[in-house]
A = this chain, B = another copy of it.
Amino acid sequence: MATRFADRMQTVHRSFIREILKVTEDTSIISFAGGLPNPELFPVETMQKAASDVLSQSGPEALQYSTTEGYQPLRQFIADRYRSKKGIEVDPDEILITSGSQQCLDLLGKVFLNAGDNVIFERPGYLGAIQSFSVFQSGFVTVGLEEDGPDLDELEKALRKDNTKLFYAVPNFQNPSGLTYSAEKRAGVAEVMKGSDTLFIEDDPYGELRFMGEHQKPLSRGYIKDGSVLLGSFSKIAAPGFRLGWIVADKEIRDRLVVAKQASDLHTSTVSQRIMYRYLSDNDIDSHIEKIRDRYGRQRQKMVESIERFFPEEIKVTKPEGGMFLWATLPEGMSSMDLFDTAISHKVAFVPGRPFYVDGSGDNTFRLNFSNSDEERIAEGVKRLGNCLKDYLAK
């Protein structure tokens, strides 16, 4: 049989990162390529207790079908936390629980994008979002990231283009760059977007992982009063294996997202939602997040110091105040793809930057992950990569 696939899948490819991860399965390679949380920090014992309590006390409910919107006490917990931690008002009925925050992107694509509509996208930007929106045959208009956030002139120009339905941003410790929007840039983005009918999508999986400096208010509801949605995730503060994320949206949009989710997977795992809620209500998530911050903060510190020691000074690297990634830039004209092959032979890995650029640029950039290696391996890996860079620059 000649299978006849839909046009939409022609531009969607397997995640480049997932392909790279296969190369780095060799344990002699020190890999800064992944984007995994450190599993040593997963709250295994408390989750085991939470699972046991949920199944012994409300087993039949936990194993049954449930509402598309999500478990109400979990939505209430999230709303309360926004009020106490971020100073923004969210109603539990404005929250939809999703199968990871990746699903939010799929649902937003479904609800908003006709083929040919444009998405304003950070340059570089999050690979998973490129995949999700590409399924809906979107175009992309990119806006460059500066040290403190997007280039506002470029953003203004992008907003004037036709059919720019969405602006997708990761304002805290962005994947891949590690960059964070400053308060001034947040206000600037809100000002530029005022009156626009482009929806601002604020994806914030890393916001709680701040090691230094001051927490920033979300743009959504903090700066942009109307026309934004806010995505969150338990993957980086508790555990990704549950696939639990959420979206905050005004009721009109949230209603549409609920319909799209019903058609996509009926609802998110009842078991997962109830175990997570039990874990959150029986434990102090703040002190757990503090442990993660402490560990990742030290790992980030070790990576920054090792880079200062071992990298040639021509290589520019960001110094994020949180999150999981650093972003390196080689001198113009060089290719991190070429460097990748050399690095593998030196038993160290990273992710070449080009896939994070929808416009095909970024050949001289690469991403380094520090959350999933201990300090010793970070020091050794950066040293290997430093040697490799010296060889490469000398060519």
Interface residues of A (CB under 8 A from B): 1-9, 12-15, 18, 36-37, 39-40, 42, 44-45, 47-48, 51-52, 55-56, 59-66, 68, 98-100, 102-103, 105-106, 110-114, 117, 128, 131-132, 134-136, 165, 196-197, 199, 226-227, 235, 239-243, 252-253, 256, 258-260, 262-272, 275
* A111 close to B269 (CB less than 8 A): no
Of B48, B68, B235, the residue contacting A59 (CB under 8 A) is B48
25 A/B residue pairs, CB under 8 Å, sorted by A: A1-B197, A3-B253, A6-B114, A12-B263, A14-B259, A39-B60, A42-B64, A44-B55, A44-B56, A44-B60, A47-B55, A51-B51, A51-B52, A63-B240, A65-B241, A99-B243, A102-B263, A103-B264, A110-B135, A131-B262, A135-B263, A239-B271, A241-B269, A264-B264, A271-B271
Within 8 Å CB of A271, what residues of B? 239, 241-242, 271-272, 275
Say whether, besides A6-B111, A48-B59, A56-B48, A99 and B265 are in contact (CB < 8 Å): yes
* B3 close to A240 (CB less than 8 A): no
CA distance A14 to B110 in the complex (A): 15
A155 to chain B, nearest CB (A): 17
Within 8 Å CB of A106, what residues of B? 263-265
* A15 close to B63 (CB less than 8 A): no
Say whether, besides A52-B48, A239-B63, A241-B64, A13 and B100 are in contact (CB < 8 Å): no
A280 to chain B, nearest CB (A): 15
Within 8 Å CB of A226, what residues of B? 1
Within 8 Å CB of A6, what residues of B? 110-114, 117, 136
* B64 close to A36 (CB less than 8 A): yes
A355 to chain B, nearest CB (A): 13
* A4 close to B112 (CB less than 8 A): yes
User: A115 — nearest CB in chain B belongs to which residue?
Assistant: B115
User: A136 — nearest CB in chain B belongs to which residue?
Assistant: B6
* B239 close to A267 (CB less than 8 A): no
CA distance A135 to B113 in the complex (A): 12
Judged by DSSP, the binding face of A is helix
CA distance A3 to B254 in the complex (A): 12
A9 to chain B, nearest CB (A): 6
* A12 close to B259 (CB less than 8 A): yes
CA distance A65 to B245 in the complex (A): 14
Residue from A60, A65, A239, A270 with most neighbouring chain B CB atoms (10 Å)? A65
* A65 close to B240 (CB less than 8 A): yes
User: A165 — nearest CB in chain B belongs to which residue?
Assistant: B4
* A266 close to B241 (CB less than 8 A): no
* B18 close to A68 (CB less than 8 A): yes
User: A196 — nearest CB in chain B belongs to which residue?
Assistant: B1
A239 to chain B, nearest CB (A): 4
Say whether, besides A65-B240, A106-B263, A266-B102, A51 and B44 are in contact (CB < 8 Å): no
Within 8 Å CB of A252, what residues of B? 3
* B44 close to A1 (CB less than 8 A): no
CA distance A252 to B4 in the complex (A): 11
Within 8 Å CB of A111, what residues of B? 5-6, 9
Within 8 Å CB of A52, what residues of B? 48, 51-52
